[in-house]
A and B are shown apart, each in its own frame.
Chain A
Amino acid sequence: MKLPLLITALLASTFLASAQNEPKPLVIEGYAEVYYGYDFNTPAGNERPGFVVSHNRHNEVNINLAMLRVIYDKDRVRGNIGIMAGTYANANMKAEPGVLKNIYEANAGFRLHKRHELWVDAGIFPSHIGQETVIGIDNATLTRSMIADGSPYYEAGVRLSYTTLNEKFYIALMHMNGWQRIQRPAGNATPAGGMQVTHKPNKNILFNLSTFVGNDYPDTMKRMRYFIDLYTTLKFLKKFEFTASLDLGMQETVFSSSPYKYDQWTGYALMLRYKPSDRAAWVLREERFYDPYSVILRPDAGSPGPGFSAWAASLGHDRWLMSNLLWRIEGKLYIAEDPVFQRGNALFNDNYIVTTALALRFDNRKNH
């Protein structure tokens, strides 16, 4: 009697162990990021300048992003459904109607080839543009760079993607509804598209190129927009990570007096992260955004001229209280070419902010 029991126990434990090693087809994941920011310009409405969409509330404890998602990935089918709330959603989803504001992602995909990672996915996705994401814990810095706030955080459409078997190249083509659009603007029927190429020659280096082509206005006021985003991430000396991002954009001009056919904007962000241990990190960032015609970023009301051009720098400290709980603090300053930041009843060139945040991520991947 003892022997069959022993064999059974061994069989069952082997079966369970192998089941535990396999990735779960259905994962539930949650993310919450609480923050407190103090803007030394003390905006009257407790809201940071309009071009800031993440951590944009002043002098109050608030949620930047609370997100719950279900991830399904089995055989040749995959899908994600994520819902969200927070000041990010309020600020960045203003153009979306109704409950679409609360969709972080909702997509379904089918693998076209039995062995190769050739997928077609459709729905609402995190944007294919830019190195920074809405989920702060995945970013080197607490607050988002100007080029991140000045490019899409999400997109809707159809994506055809391929990852090579050695996972060194990822190539994707997108048909999209527009520039950060789930719902098209009224009167807009212009197809929009983009592509992405990511190359990882080894585990320490990553290169990415993303593009966008489309029109964000009704067809009667059509203005084609062309955009390129480049970034690279380099890890070196085991404790350092350097990221350089560059954005270049152009859009058909609306200024009849302009000698150029296109209004252009550009921006970059440089980040250096030093991680002395698994529990702590220091991050230094320098960035610039130059948008002389305010195609993308607009200064506060009342500022001179149509443009926005600013330089910014930040220093941040991260501390992992647990493996999935991160506390961070960051000081940031902006210096603009024109007086574009409101302080009291006047406009100034500079802006200083201190932000602290607590970020938690949890999922059921391990405890099956």
Chain B
Amino acid sequence: MNINCHSFRLPGIYPANGGRGIGGNLALFNDNYLVTTALALRFDNRKIINSAHRVTTLYLLL
């Protein structure tokens, strides 16, 4: 599983109308600047299964 937790934009870069247009209600511009950060976490149960396998293998080998 994989999630993107949060995305930030610097205050002031995006317009006052919530980012739906460049320049807000006042004017249109050619440029746009954006900074984004994200935290992603992936986890699964593969290792738990492997540790169980190791126990079984140890038992069988001995």
Contact = CB atoms under 8 A, between A and B. Distances in A.
Interface of A: 4-5, 7-9, 11-12, 15-16, 19, 24-26, 70, 72, 74, 77, 79, 81, 106-108, 110, 122-123, 156-158, 184-189, 191, 218-220, 368
A110 B14 CA distance: 29
Contact of B62 (A4, A74, A157): A4
A122 B39 contact: yes
For the complex of A and B, the 7 pairs showing the least CB-CB separation, nearest first, are: A108-B41, A186-B18, A123-B5, A8-B62, A72-B43, A122-B5, A122-B6
Contacts of B58: 8, 11-12, 15
Nearest to A184: B18
Interface in B45-61: 45, 48, 51, 55, 58-59
Interface of B: 1, 3, 5-6, 11, 14, 16-18, 20, 39-41, 43-45, 48, 51, 55, 58-59, 62
17 contacts: A8-B59, A8-B62, A9-B59, A11-B58, A12-B59, A26-B44, A72-B43, A77-B43, A106-B3, A107-B5, A123-B3, A186-B20, A187-B16, A191-B11, A218-B16, A218-B18, A219-B16
Contacts of A24: 48
B59 A220 contact: no
Given A19-B51, A122-B5, 15 more contacts: A8-B59, A11-B62, A19-B55, A26-B43, A72-B41, A81-B3, A106-B3, A107-B3, A184-B18, A185-B18, A187-B17, A189-B11, A189-B16, A218-B16, A218-B17
A7 B55 CA distance: 13
A5 B59 CA distance: 8
A4 B59 CA distance: 10
Chain A CB within 10 Å, residue with most, of B14, B18, B41, B48: B41
B5 A108 contact: yes
Contacts of A122: 5-6, 39
A158 to B, nearest CB: 6
A17 B54 CA distance: 15
A238 B7 CA distance: 47
Nearest to A4: B62
A191 B40 CA distance: 23
